């Protein structure tokens, strides 16, 4: 439907070969098929048939290639490196897989559908899938060290590619290659990604409104440069408690908070089940001050300085004038989950002195990629920690909006969907696009409140009718991606496809907490409806393990 408008005539001999070949991929999975397309910015690296395995149960053709090779102003060789996988039993559809982190590596193009299964992928459902490094490679030199995934920020075009350029360059080429291979255009075109990949999806909705029939964005890093300032804010707050981040707040401390939030809020949705579905009522009724130790208190409690740090990080960064730089964060039950701690306080890598991911991933991108001019933050986790400790929030809040000689676009321009504070997706809607989004309420990396604020602004700008083309779902208890006391397994992609292709409007999405999740105890798996924002799942009656006992109203 949204396939590239490539005339069949320009596809030449390759098309003829494909059409003539009813056997399919074996005869055509060869470099000549793609060379015949005459794409002069394309450098093929390999084209090979791949036999089905247990992990990837479809025979397919795998193309590895570079697009737009060039030398950056930093003397580094850049290209949009990508992998395209073309299944033998193609279903006529295409998925652009958007990846997470700082990009920089070509994640296998299997098309993870964010549903919780590594095997139920777009490729296994016979979609053609493309995945890229977003225009740069991880810098594996010892000099880069822990900053390996961020040094590309020294080159302005690599920054732009990471922000939006790589998707814009690759998307039409990948569609042309799919069409060249199969001999017909993709009937439906999707984009799927989470975190930074969710950001890619929302940027694509705004910048490429005609390009996708359906976009699925999980826990998007909508305001990634602003969220990176939160990392410095958090680190500074934690360091006020201890010079060792893992020791600033212990697992037991976080459990005190999780238990207190649960005690205050769990029943607000009609059932005490460990899930705080009525998150807004919870924010109004929970006060972190209640966990502070009274003198002589024997209950589980925290010293006042820890309570203040928790209050501060949930409030989010503010300038010395009291202006909010990013967003506040919801109190939720997932704060004691390992996935919360790993990002904020304690990583698992001894070589990084167990520094959390906000330091080893977030710190380098804040300096190299989001600050203009770029700041080289050093190669060791201790260097990055020192950078974050000394980070000036006032100056940093300006640096993400700044331009400089040779760096014409600010980070807030190349990273976020245009008009991120005043969003409008009318062009996407008018082109027939459908968008589905979800975000965990205990995400420690990107604030769910920020996503809800963005979605409310979108709805407002669409006259309260954003649901005509979009849906947003909150996932109580879920941290960054899967994990936490949450029903974190669900198939939103199928709902998106049904909406795009059959016009079936998505309503509640059934989500599962598999056995072994902290929620399920000795019970087997449990299910809940995820409700379209701002609706909350409330207990009606019946089996508390089953989603049918709840309503979205
Ligand atoms: C992510 O994709 O998970 C991510 C990207 C940048 C900073 C933090 C997280």
User: What average pLDDT does the segment 257-264 reach?
Assistant: 98
Q: Which residues of 479-496 are buried (b: 16+ CB within 10 A; e: fewer)?
A: bbbbbbbbbbbbbbbebb
Residue nearest to atom 1 of ligand 1 (CA): 101
pLDDT band (50, 70, 90) for residue 27? low
Of 149-163, 216-230, 287-301, 416-430, least confident by mean pLDDT is 287-301
Residue nearest to atom 4 of ligand 1 (CA): 101
Residue nearest to atom 9 of ligand 1 (CA): 101
Of 128, 165, 189, 132, the residue nearest 4 (C-alpha): 189
**Within its chain, how far is the Cα of 285 from the centroid?**
30
Atom of ligand 1 nearest to the CA of 357: 8
Instruction: Note the pLDDT of residue 75.
Output: 97
Assigned CATH class of 8-14+37-218: alpha beta
Annotated active-site residue in 161, 269, 443, 488:
443
Q: Is the CB of 362 under 6 A from ligand 1?
A: yes
Percent of the chain residues past pLDDT 90, beyond the cut: 92
pLDDT band (50, 70, 90) for residue 362? very high
CA 100 – ligand 1 centroid, Å: 6
* Ligand 1 pocket: which of 149, 217, 446, 483 to mutate (most atoms within 8 A of CB): 446
CB distance 348 to 354 below 8 Å: yes
CB distance 512 to 495 below 8 Å: no
**Within its chain, how far is the Cα of 386 from the centroid?**
27
Instruction: Note the pLDDT of residue 3.
Output: 43
**pLDDT above 80 (res 16):** no
Query: What would the DSSP string read from start to end of 528-543?
Result: EEEPBTT--EEE-SS-
Instruction: Note the pLDDT of residue 544.
Output: 95
What pLDDT digit, counting tens, does each position of 43-87 carry? Answer: 999 999 999 999 999 999 999 999 999 999 999 999 999 999 999
* Ligand 1 pocket: which of 221, 447, 483 to mutate (most atoms within 8 A of CB): 221
CA 446 – ligand 1 centroid, Å: 8
Q: Is the CB of 544 under 6 A from ligand 1?
A: no
81 bridge partner residues:
66
Atom of ligand 1 nearest to the CA of 481: 3
pLDDT band (50, 70, 90) for residue 299? confident
CB distance 213 to 433 below 8 Å: yes
| Cα 281 from Cα 267, distance rounded (Å) | 11
Q: Is the CB of 445 under 6 A from ligand 1?
A: yes
| Cα 125 from Cα 79, distance rounded (Å) | 29
Strand 214-218 to 188-194 pairing: parallel
Strand 537-539 to 509-513 pairing: unpaired
User: What average pLDDT does the segment 243-272 reach?
Assistant: 98
Q: Catalytic residue at 155?
A: no
**Within its chain, how far is the Cα of 498 from the centroid?**
22
What pLDDT digit, counting tens, does each position of 224-252 carry? Answer: 999 999 999 999 999 999 999 999 999 99
**pLDDT above 70 (res 12):** no
Of 521, 449, 440, 450, the residue nearest 486 (C-alpha): 440
Q: Catalytic residue at 244?
A: no
pLDDT band (50, 70, 90) for residue 523? confident
Q: Catalytic residue at 394?
A: no
**Within its chain, how far is the Cα of 352 from the centroid?**
24
Name the segment(s) of the chain with CATH classification 3.40.50: 8-14+37-218
* Ligand 1 pocket: which of 100, 367, 481 to mutate (most atoms within 8 A of CB): 100
What pLDDT digit, counting tens, does each position of 382-403 carry? Answer: 999 999 999 999 999 999 999 9
Question: Which residues, at least 6 apart from 40, have a Cβ–Cβ distance to it below 8 Å?
Answer: none
Instruction: Note the pLDDT of residue 10.
Output: 29
**pLDDT above 80 (res 281):** yes
User: pLDDT averaged over the chain?
Assistant: 94
pLDDT band (50, 70, 90) for residue 8? very low
**pLDDT above 80 (res 11):** no
SS3 call for 471: strand
User: What average pLDDT does the segment 264-280 reach?
Assistant: 98
Atom of ligand 1 nearest to the CA of 199: 2
Annotated active-site residue in 124, 131, 149, 195:
195
User: What average pLDDT does the segment 357-367 reach?
Assistant: 98
Query: What would the DSSP string read from start to end of 294-353?
Result: PTT--SS-B-HHHHHHHHHHHH--B-TT--BSS------GGGGSHHHHHHHT--S-GGGT
User: What average pLDDT does the segment 12-30 reach?
Assistant: 46
Of 274, 246, 250, 252, the residue nearest 261 (C-alpha): 274
| Cα 55 from Cα 44, distance rounded (Å) | 26
CB distance 207 to 168 below 8 Å: yes
Annotated active-site residue in 96, 136, 200, 480:
480
What pLDDT digit, counting tens, does each position of 465-495 carry? Answer: 999 999 999 999 999 999 999 999 999 999 9
User: What average pLDDT does the segment 20-41 reach?
Assistant: 76
Query: What would the DSSP string read from start to end of 173-203?
Result: HHHHHHHHHHSS--SEEEEEEETHHHHHHHH
Residue nearest to atom 5 of ligand 1 (CA): 101
**Within its chain, how far is the Cα of 461 from the centroid?**
24
* Ligand 1 pocket: which of 196, 231, 366 to mutate (most atoms within 8 A of CB): 196
Q: Is the CB of 100 under 6 A from ligand 1?
A: yes
CB distance 84 to 123 below 8 Å: no
Q: Is the CB of 180 under 6 A from ligand 1?
A: no
Q: Is the CB of 361 under 6 A from ligand 1?
A: yes
What pLDDT digit, counting tens, does each position of 143-171 carry? Answer: 999 999 999 999 999 999 999 999 999 99
| Cα 168 from Cα 161, distance rounded (Å) | 8
What pLDDT digit, counting tens, does each position of 305-337 carry? Answer: 999 999 999 999 999 999 999 999 999 999 999
Record the tokens describing residue 151, joined without a space: 């040094």
Question: Which residues, at least 6 apart from 8, have a Cβ–Cβ distance to it below 8 Å?
Answer: 15
Q: Is the CB of 223 under 6 A from ligand 1?
A: no
Q: Is the CB of 104 under 6 A from ligand 1?
A: no
């Amino acid at each position: 439907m949204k396939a590239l408008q490539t005339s069949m005539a320009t596809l030449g001999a390759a098309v003829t070969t494909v059409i003539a070949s009813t056997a399919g991929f074996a005869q055509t999975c060869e470099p000549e098929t793609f060379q015949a397309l005459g794409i002069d910015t394309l450098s093929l690296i390999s084209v090979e048939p791949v036999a089905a395995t247990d992990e990837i149960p479809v025979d397919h053709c795998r193309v590895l290639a570079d697009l737009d090779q060039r030398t950056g102003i930093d003397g580094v060789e850049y290209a949009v490196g990508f992998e395209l996988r073309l299944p033998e039993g193609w279903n006529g559809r295409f998925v652009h897989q958007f990846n997470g982190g700082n990009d920089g590596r070509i994640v296998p193009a299997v098309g993870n559908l964010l549903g919780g299964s590594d095997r139920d992928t777009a490729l296994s459902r016979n979609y053609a899938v493309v995945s890229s490094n977003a225009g740069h490679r991880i810098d594996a030199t010892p000099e880069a060290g822990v900053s390996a995934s961020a040094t590309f920020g020294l080159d302005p075009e690599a920054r732009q590619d990471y922000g939006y350029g790589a998707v814009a360059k690759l998307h039409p080429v990948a569609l042309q290659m799919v069409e060249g291979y199969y001999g017909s255009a993709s009937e439906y075109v999707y984009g799927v990604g989470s975190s930074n990949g969710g950001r890619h999806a929302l940027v694509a909705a705004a910048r490429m409104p005609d390009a996708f029939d359906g976009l699925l964005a999980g826990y998007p890093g909508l305001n990634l440069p602003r969220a990176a300032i939160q990392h410095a804010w958090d680190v500074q707050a934690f360091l006020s408690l201890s010079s060792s981040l893992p020791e600033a707040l212990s697992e037991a401390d976080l459990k005190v908070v999780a238990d207190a939030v649960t005690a205050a809020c769990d029943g607000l949705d009609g059932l005490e089940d460990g899930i705080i579905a009525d998150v807004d009522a919870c924010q109004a009724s929970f006060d972190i001050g209640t966990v502070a130790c009274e003198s002589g208190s024997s209950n589980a409690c925290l010293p006042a300085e820890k309570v203040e740090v928790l209050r501060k990080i949930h409030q989010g960064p503010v300038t010395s004038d009291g202006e909010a730089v990013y967003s506040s964060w919801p109190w939720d039950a997932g704060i004691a989950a390992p996935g919360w701690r790993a990002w904020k306080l304690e990583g698992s890598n001894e070589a990084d002195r167990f520094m959390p991911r906000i330091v080893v991933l977030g710190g380098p991108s804040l300096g190299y990629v989001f600050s203009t001019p770029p700041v080289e933050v050093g190669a060791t986790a201790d260097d990055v920690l020192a950078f974050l400790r000394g980070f000036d929030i006032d100056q940093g809040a300006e640096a993400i909006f700044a331009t400089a000689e040779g760096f014409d676009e600010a980070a807030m321009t190349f990273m976020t969907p245009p008009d991120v504070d005043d969003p409008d997706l009318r062009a996407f809607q008018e082109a027939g696009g459908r968008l589905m989004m979800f975000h965990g309420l205990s995400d420690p990396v990107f604030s769910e409140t920020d996503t809800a604020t963005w979605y409310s602004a979108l709805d407002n700008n669409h006259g309260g009718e954003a649901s005509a083309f979009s849906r947003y779902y909150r996932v109580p208890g879920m941290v960054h991606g899967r994990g936490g006391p949450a029903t974190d397994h669900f198939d939103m992609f199928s709902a998106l496809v049904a909406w795009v292709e059959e016009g079936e409007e998505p309503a509640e999405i059934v989500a599962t907490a598999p056995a072994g999740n902290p929620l399920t105890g000795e019970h087997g798996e449990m299910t809940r409806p995820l409700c379209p924002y701002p609706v909350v799942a409330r207990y009606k009656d019946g089996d508390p393990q089953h989603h049918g006992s709840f309503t979205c109203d």
